[in-house]
């Protein structure tokens, strides 16, 4: 069964924070997200250009519509902006039994105020006492507690003060605390007065847009899944750490968190392995395929979209080898296993991102003649290779593929005729391994052995 959570927050037109971040994070964690929009911001990665707070009436109607129908297992409150919104949200939720996560959003990372100064005391009086956990960063913790943070002990003092104001649990996020270059320490104070510290190595990213929203949305998701509070915070921290690793520079301003990129990448990896395993089965059952296998054996590879290194390319662990009148893979499919054929596909993808699969076969006259009749073929010679490239381990293939593609960027086949100690080779390219297998079938069609 899918659990639902509700986020009551502002819309961020840049897509990185607010409602948009909450929906991505909750969805990525398997939670169905309902949304109540409190304000619409016109912003990008440089500035917040405009804020339109919505009326108390429509905010109330949104909350009532959702709560009167959908079982909600946790609620997040994000940007509330003004007194009317604070009062409306507080009045509706003050007797609710649903766990509430309060993200005390005061300013955007780009600087603009997202909670008017004059409403700070209302915020503290009306929202802190109704929440189960509040998740300030260092600046927000200072503002809510009135304590200036100069050292780690001050962080604990702010957490205790904020708890006194009514929040049951407090998480002070340490990312903006610059006393420690190596580590980021987040401080959790639970409802029994116990502190838990979460330590992560500091990444070389100054400020990211959306990390605070992603964290509080992740805590909300884990609470909806019934994890106990401290564990929910620890898991949310780990999740956000990964989403910061996947930060994207999407605009001209600060980088934006990308909380679902790793999920997309994982699903691509799964599909690549499945399709490649299927294609290896088909390839090795093609009659006479073993006659195309070179001395140095064959491999077929398949890269994930946007691959940029060998670990993004799957191949047969070991090779596909000739065994009598059959061909067999020596082992299963893995990422990062085929240096040569993987280098070819990585280089090809610089010209055409859609071509993601490749197979190397023997270069013999009649095979090459058949390729020339059927496909677009281009080539390079290893003896054209500049010394500077030859001397650099692993660079030869990229150089050759790039050189060959400069003559014909749409080639299906790239070959070279070898050099001292280098076997001549043909590489067949395709958008996916099935297409490569089909090309092999056409090459072998009507060929007599
Ligand atoms: O990151 C805090 C935040 C929350 N909600 C909205 C925002 C921002 C930051 O820009 O725009 C709507």
Residue boundaries of the structural domains of the chain: 4-259, 268-445
Give me the CATH topology for the region 268-445: L-fuculose-1-phosphate Aldolase (3.40.225)
Q: Which fold has domain 4-259?
A: 3.40.1190
Q: What pLDDT, in 10s, does the model give residues 296-314?
A: 999 999 999 999 899 999 9
| Residue 12 Cβ < 6 Å to ligand 1 | yes
Judge if the beta carbon of residue 105 lies within 6 A of ligand 1.
Answer: yes
58-66: Cβ within 8 A, 24+ apart: 59/8, 59/85, 59/88, 59/89, 60/88, 60/92, 62/35, 62/36, 62/37, 63/6, 63/8, 63/36, 63/89, 63/92, 63/93, 64/92, 66/6, 66/34, 66/36
Q: Whose CA is nearest to atom 9 of ligand 1?
A: 108
Pairing between β-strand 4-12 and β-strand 72-77 as defined by DSSP bridges: parallel
How far away, in angstroms, is 67 Cα from ligand 1 center?
A: 24
Of 14, 18, 139, 208, best ligand 1 pocket probe by most atoms within 8 Å of the beta carbon? 18
**R_g over Cα of the chain:** 29
Question: How many other CB atoms are there within 10 angstroms of residue 191's CB atom?
Answer: 14
**Mutation probe of ligand 1 site: the residue of 17, 38, 40, 109 with most atoms within 8 A of C-beta:** 17
Q: What is the reported pLDDT for 103?
A: 98
Nearest CA to ligand 1 atom 6: 18
| Among 217, 301, 312, 220, CA closest to 260 | 217
Asked whether 149 and 121 are in contact (CB, 8 A), the reply is: no
**Residue-level pLDDT at 420:** 85
Tell me the best of 7, 140, 207, 213 to mutate to test the pocket of ligand 1, counting ligand atoms within 8 Å of each CB and taking the most.
213
Per-residue pLDDT of the chain (449 residues; tens, 9 = 90+): 899 999 999 999 999 999 999 999 999 999 999 999 999 999 999 999 999 999 999 999 999 999 999 999 999 999 999 999 999 999 999 999 999 999 999 998 888 899 988 999 999 999 999 999 999 999 999 999 999 999 999 999 999 999 999 999 999 999 888 777 788 999 999 999 999 999 988 887 778 899 999 999 999 999 999 999 999 999 999 999 888 888 889 999 999 998 888 788 889 999 999 999 999 999 999 999 999 999 999 999 999 999 989 999 999 999 999 999 999 999 999 999 988 999 999 999 999 999 999 999 999 999 999 999 999 999 999 888 888 776 666 688 999 999 999 999 999 999 999 988 889 999 999 999 999 999 999 999 989 88
pTM as predicted: 0.84
Give the pLDDT score at 89: 98
Q: Which two structure tokens, joined as six digits, stand for 121?
A: 């005391």
Q: How far is the CA of 116 from the centre of ligand 1 (A)?
A: 14
Percentage of residues of the chain with pLDDT beyond 90: 83
Whole-number pLDDT of residue 391: 64
């Amino acid at each position: 069964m899918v659990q639902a959570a509700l986020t009551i927050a502002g819309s961020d037109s840049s897509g990185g924070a607010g409602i948009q971040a909450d929906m991505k994070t909750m969805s990525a964690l398997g939670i169905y997200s309902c949304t109540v929009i409190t304000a619409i911001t016109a912003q990008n990665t440089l500035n917040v250009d405009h804020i339109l707070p919505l009326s108390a009436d429509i905010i109330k109607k949104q909350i009532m519509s959702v709560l009167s129908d959908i079982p909600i297992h946790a609620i997040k409150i994000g940007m509330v902006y003004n007194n009317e919104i604070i009062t409306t949200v507080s009045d509706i939720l003050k007797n609710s039994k649903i766990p509430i996560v309060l993200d005390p959003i005061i300013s955007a990372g780009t600087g603009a105020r997202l909670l008017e100064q004059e409403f700070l005391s209302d915020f503290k009086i009306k929202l802190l006492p109704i929440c189960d956990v509040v998740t300030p960063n260092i600046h927000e913790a200072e503002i809510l507690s009135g304590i200036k943070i100069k050292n780690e002990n001050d962080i604990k003092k702010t957490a205790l003060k904020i708890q006194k104001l009514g929040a049951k649990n407090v998480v002070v996020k340490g990312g903006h605390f610059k006393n420690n270059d190596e580590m980021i320490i987040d401080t959790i104070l639970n409802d029994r007065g116990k502190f838990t510290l979460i330590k992560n190595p500091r990444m070389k990213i100054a400020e990211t847009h959306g990390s605070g929203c992603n964290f509080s949305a992740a805590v909300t998701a884990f609470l909806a899944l019934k994890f106990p509070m401290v564990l929910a915070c620890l898991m949310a921290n780990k999740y956000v750490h990964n989403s910061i690793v996947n930060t994207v520079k999407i605009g001209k301003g600060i980088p934006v968190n990308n909380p679902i990129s790793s999920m997309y990448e994982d699903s691509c990896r799964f599909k690549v392995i499945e399709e490649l395993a299927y294609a290896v089965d088909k390839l090795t059952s093609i009659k006479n395929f073993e006659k195309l296998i070179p001395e140095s054996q064959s491999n077929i590879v398949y890269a994930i979209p946007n691959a940029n290194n060998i670990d993004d390319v799957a191949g047969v662990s070991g090779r596909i080898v000739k065994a009598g009148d059959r061909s067999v893979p020596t082992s299963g499919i893995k990422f990062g296993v085929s240096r040569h054929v993987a280098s070819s596909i990585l280089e090809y993808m610089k010209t055409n991102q859609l071509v993601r699969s490749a197979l190397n076969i023997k270069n013999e006259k009649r095979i090459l003649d058949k390729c020339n009749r059927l496909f677009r073929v281009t080539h390079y010679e290893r003896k054209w290779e500049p010394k500077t490239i030859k001397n650099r381990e692993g660079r030869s293939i990229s150089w050759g593929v790039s050189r060959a593609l400069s003559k014909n960027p749409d080639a299906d086949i790239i070959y070279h005729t070898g050099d001292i100690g280098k076997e001549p080779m043909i590489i067949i390219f395709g958008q996916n391994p099935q297409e490569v297998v089909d090309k092999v079938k056409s090459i072998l069609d009507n060929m007599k052995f």
